[in-house]
Homo-oligomer: A and B are copies of this chain.
Amino acid sequence: MNTLAAYTQHLHEMNILSSALSLIGWDQETHMPPRGIGFRSQVMGRLTKNLFELTVSPELGTLLEQLEADDSLSLEQKASVRDIGKQYRRRKAIPPALIEEQAETQSQAQAAWAEARKKSDFSIFEPLLVQMVDYARTFADYFGYEDHPYDGLLEEYEPGMTVTKLQGIIGPLREQLVPFLKQLMEEGTAPDTSPICGHFDVPTQRILARRALETVLYDFDAGALDDVAHPFSTAIAFDDVRVTNRYLEDHITSGLFGALHEGGHALYGQGMPEELYQLRLSGGASNGMHESQSRTIENQLGRSLPFWKHFQPILAEVFPQFRDVSPEALYAAVNEVTPSFIRVEADEVTYNLHIMLRAELEAELVAGELQVKDLPGRWNQAMEEYLGITPPNDALGVLQDVHWSVGYYGYFPSYMLGNLYASQLAVQTWVDIPDLDEQIASGNIKALIDWLIENVHRVGGVYQPDELMRRVTGEPLDSSHFVRYVKTKYSEIYGLS
């Protein structure tokens, strides 16, 4: 077998395990009975170990070495070797004993975090957080970085991203958003949300979520929609990309925008050719780029007036009480801005402020510039500064997210980058399709989805995010698109002059 065939076969073995693990993970959150968790954890642990072994196997190392010197590879093959090689080196960089040690601490940290959040008592989590931050710093050292240890962690989620670049994005963004939010709250008139108030039974909401996914051309022949406590989407294979969702009886928007958000992620997976899956490039360009696809569907499309012009009759078909509510009224109602304590409930204007705060604090933690004991105070101070509110307790503040307890340091910025990418891509869609608004309003959502497939989905993880943005929009990431977007949209909704 030649080197390339052996490499492809190796990736196939990894894909077999990845697919089984994705299904197992999906089932665990959707259908597995409570008592099934005992043996399930053993199955999960064992297959994860098998996959890890394939990720760092010496045979793979040899193949990578040969392929990295091979100029005859296709663009896609080169991209695959680039990503698999990077993963190989990063996974091998950490001594196995340390990985095991960290995994044990992590399971304690997650339990401590859950208890701390429940009791709103940071001191329960504090000593374990200290350890988790230490591991993050140690891992960063093993991974290597040029300027800042946080760079070594960012690379995992957003290739090419650094603290310096992040600061260049966050700074101007904050300078614009903080005063704009203040202005909205003080001078603006909040939209009337009464049209979407009410009690909405869950089975009918499930139908609505299905209709919404059909509307955005999510392919149910290559996917499924299931109930879950914490929504996610997952690619079990290239032709099996599932959405999960949850429904709140008193908040119809939660299940609707949840479905659109996860549907956006799933469309990314469904839009990729099988070849990229086989080359393990189907995870997308980065976490941030993945988030941009969910935000495009949820916000750029789902919270736009053209969308509601098309979707209002569908909504009214499922819930007849909306028959006499205008698209304009629905558009305004789903776009209320409220500075709130909880990130996952944040609107388009405040969401990025929640993220900046986390990104800054975790970079400082990893660099040792901020001590864990000082974290709650700094958190509350930043909340006041950015959002003008102070959490009444740590459960509604520093303890709200799971990320730090499970070791996801460097992940948070993806959420913000997703919003920024989405705005910049949206500008380009209107350049390429000048009458896109009219098309969407008249029900031709396909115009947008085809554009996303052609420009973003189809190439999967072939290009790094920065390169992809340049190719599609002609320029690197520029947060001014986002600022213009929210300022224009919300000034109008809030009646600012």
Contacts and interface: CB of A to CB of B under 8 A. Distances in A.
A27 B277 CA distance: 21
Contacts of A222: 33-36
Interface of A is mostly: helix
Nearest to A40: B237
A391 B421 CA distance: 67
Interface string A25-47: 00100011111101110110011
A220 interface: yes
Interface residues of A, number: 36
Interface in A1-32: 12-13, 15-16, 19-20, 23-24, 27, 31-32
A226 interface: yes
Contacts of A12: 42
A33 B220 contact: yes
A43 B31 contact: no
A240 B20 contact: no
A226 B33 CA distance: 12
A247 interface: no
Contacts of A240: 32-33, 35-36, 39-40
A47 B35 contact: no
Interface string A230-242: 0000001111101
A38 B224 contact: no
Contact of A224 (B15, B20, B33, B40): B33
A221 interface: yes
A223 interface: yes
B31 A16 contact: no
Contacts of A32: 224, 240
Contacts of A42: 12, 16
A453 to B, nearest CB: 16
A20 B43 contact: yes
B35 A239 contact: yes
A240 B12 CA distance: 29
Interface in A237-289: 237-240, 242, 277
Interface string A200-230: 0000000000000000000111111010000
B16 A221 contact: no
Contacts of A34: 221-222
17 contacts: A19-B39, A19-B40, A20-B20, A33-B224, A35-B219, A35-B239, A35-B240, A36-B222, A36-B237, A36-B239, A36-B240, A38-B239, A39-B237, A39-B239, A39-B277, A40-B237, A43-B237
